[in-house]
C-alpha cells in the first residue's frame, strides 16, 4: 500500500503525538530498568555437582528456558496487525538492538484518515527466572494503576494511561508478561487528530492484551 502525504495542518498536529508514541516505545522496549512515567499522565534449577574433596570448589549451572529472543515481527498475526493498526505495513519494522539474543522489538504504526495507531512487541531474555521476576516486578511497580491478566504466562499485568500534549490526547496500553526467564512487553496506543481525543480505555486495553497473548504463544513455541 503506497503511503500518502499528510495535509500540512495534520502534520503539524501529528508531530507532538508521534513523539509521545516514540516515547511510549522507549518506555516499554528500552533498557531493562524501569523508567518514570510521562508527565500529565492519568492512570485509567540450579544443579550442583558432587564434591570430589572437601577443598574442591562447588559450581552451579542455571538452566534457561529461553536462550534467545524470537523474531518480534512474527509476534502477532497479520490479521491482528490489520485490526489494531489499520493501514500499517503488516511486516512491521524491527528496531535495532545491541544484542538480539537479549532483546528484540518490532513496531507497526499508521495514520488512517485522522486515526493514528502504534503497536510494538518486545522480547527480553534474562539470565535466570529470578532476574526476570525482579525485572517484571520493577516494571509493574512503576506502572501502577493497572491489573493482573489471568491465564497469561507465569504472570501478566496490563495498565492504560492517558496523556495530553498541546490539547491532543493519546491513550496508551502496556502489557507485561513474565514467562520463566523471559519478558514479553506489548505497547499499543492511539489518537484521533480530528477530535483531538483518544480511543477508549477498553479498546486500547483489549487490543494490547490480544497482541500480548499472540506474542507469548510465539515465544513459547520458540523454546
- In a domain, residue 165? The reply is yes
> What was the pLDDT predicted at 43?
57
Tally of domains within the chain? 1
Closest C-alpha among 63, 179, 180 to residue 129: 180
Which residues pair with residue 162 across a beta bridge? 42, 171
pLDDT the model gives residue 97: 85
Contact indicator for 147, 157 with CB cutoff of 8 Å: yes
Cα distance between residue 186 and residue 166, in whole Å: 26
Residue 48 resides in a domain = no
- Of 87, 92, 143, 91, the residue nearest 117 (C-alpha): 87
Beta bridge partners of 168: 165
Question: Rounded to two decimals, what is the model's pTM?
Answer: 0.74
- Assess if residue 45 is contained within a domain: no
Res 4: pLDDT: 44
Angle at 172 between CA 144 and CA 132, to 5 degrees: 50
Domain-embedded: residue 47 = no
> Which residue is listed with cell 515465544?
219
Grid cell locating 99: 544484542
Under 8 Å between Cβ of 193 and 17: yes
Asked whether residue 164 is assigned to any structural domain, the reply reads yes
Q: Give φ, ψ of 79 to 5 degrees.
A: -60, -40
Is 129 a domain residue? yes
Full domain range(s) for residue 156: 8-38+59-222
Give me 119's grid cell: 503497536
For residue 168, give the H/E element and its range.
strand 168-179
pLDDT at 73: 98
Q: Is residue 192 part of a domain?
A: yes
pLDDT in tens, 70-111: 999 999 999 999 999 999 999 999 998 878 889 999 999 999
The whole-number pLDDT of residue 54 equals: 46
- pLDDT value at residue 33: 38
- Look at residues 130, 206, 129 and name the one whose alpha carbon lies nearest to residue 175: 206
Task: Please list the pLDDT of the chain residue by residue as tens digits (223 residues).
Answer: 444 444 444 444 444 444 444 444 444 444 433 333 343 445 563 344 444 444 444 444 566 899 999 999 999 999 999 999 999 999 999 998 878 889 999 999 999 999 999 999 999 999 999 999 999 999 999 887 899 999 999 999 999 999 999 999 999 999 999 999 999 999 999 999 999 999 999 999 999 999 999 999 999 998 7
Q: In this structure, is residue 198 part of a structural domain?
A: yes
Amino acid at each position: 500500500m503506497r503511503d500518502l502525504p499528510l495535509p500540512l495542518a495534520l502534520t503539524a498536529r501529528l508531530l507532538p503525538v508521534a513523539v509521545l508514541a516514540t516515547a511510549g516505545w522507549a518506555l516499554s522496549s528500552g533498557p531493562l530498568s524501569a523508567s518514570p512515567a510521562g508527565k500529565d499522565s492519568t492512570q485509567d534449577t540450579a544443579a550442583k555437582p558432587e564434591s570430589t574433596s572437601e577443598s574442591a570448589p562447588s559450581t552451579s549451572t542455571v538452566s534457561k528456558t529461553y536462550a534467545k529472543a524470537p523474531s518480534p515481527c512474527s509476534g502477532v498475526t497479520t490479521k491482528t496487525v490489520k485490526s489494531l493498526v489499520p493501514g500499517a505495513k503488516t511486516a512491521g519494522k524491527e528496531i535495532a538492538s545491541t544484542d538480539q539474543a537479549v532483546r528484540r522489538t518490532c513496531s507497526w504504526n499508521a495514520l488512517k484518515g485522522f486515526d493514528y495507531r502504534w503497536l510494538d512487541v518486545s522480547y527480553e531474555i534474562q539470565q535466570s527466572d529470578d532476574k526476570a521476576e525482579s525485572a517484571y516486578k520493577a516494571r509493574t511497580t512503576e506502572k501502577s494503576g493497572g491489573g493482573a491478566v489471568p491465564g497469561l504466562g507465569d504472570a501478566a499485568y496490563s495498565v492504560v494511561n492517558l496523556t495530553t500534549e498541546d490539547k491532543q490526547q493519546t491513550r496508551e496500553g502496556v502489557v507485561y508478561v513474565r514467562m520463566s526467564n523471559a519478558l514479553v512487553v506489548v505497547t499499543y496506543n492511539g489518537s484521533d487528530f480530528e477530535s483531538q481525543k483518544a480511543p477508549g480505555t477498553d479498546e486500547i486495553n483489549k487490543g494490547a492484551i490480544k497482541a500480548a497473548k499472540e506474542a507469548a504463544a510465539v515465544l513459547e513455541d520458540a523454546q
